[in-house]
Amino acid sequence: MNRGAAPSADAASSPVKALPGLLLESLAALAEAGEVEPACRLAGRACSALRKSDPRAARSFDVLLHRLTPRLTW
C-alpha cells in the first residue's frame, strides 16, 4: 500500500478515482488489526459493486480478497 505516499496526479485530479485506493488501504489495515472476516466481506462487496463500472478497481479488491482469505479462521 501507499501509506504516507503522496497521491498520484490522477487521484489528485479526481477524488472519486482515489476512493478505491483509500478503501483498499483501509481494508488492509482492518485485516492487520485482526478483523480479517469483515475486511474480506467488504472487499467482496466492493468487488461486486465495481465489477461493471470499474473492472480495474474491482480486480484490485478481488486480489485483496484472495490475499486475505487464507487468514480466515473459520
pLDDT digits (tens, 9 = 90+) for 10-27: 555 688 899 999 999 999
How does the average pLDDT of the chain come out, rounded? 89
pLDDT value of position 15:
87
Residue 67 to residue 61: CA distance in whole angstroms: 10
Give tens-digit pLDDT for 24-46.
999 999 999 999 999 999 999 99
Give which of 42, 37, 48 is closest to 26, Cα–Cα: 42
pLDDT value of position 23:
97
**Cell 488492509 appears where?**
28
pLDDT value of position 8:
56
Q: Check: pTM over 0.85? Answer yes or no.
A: no
CA distances 36 to 33, 43, 46, 50, 67, Å, are: 8, 10, 15, 21, 11
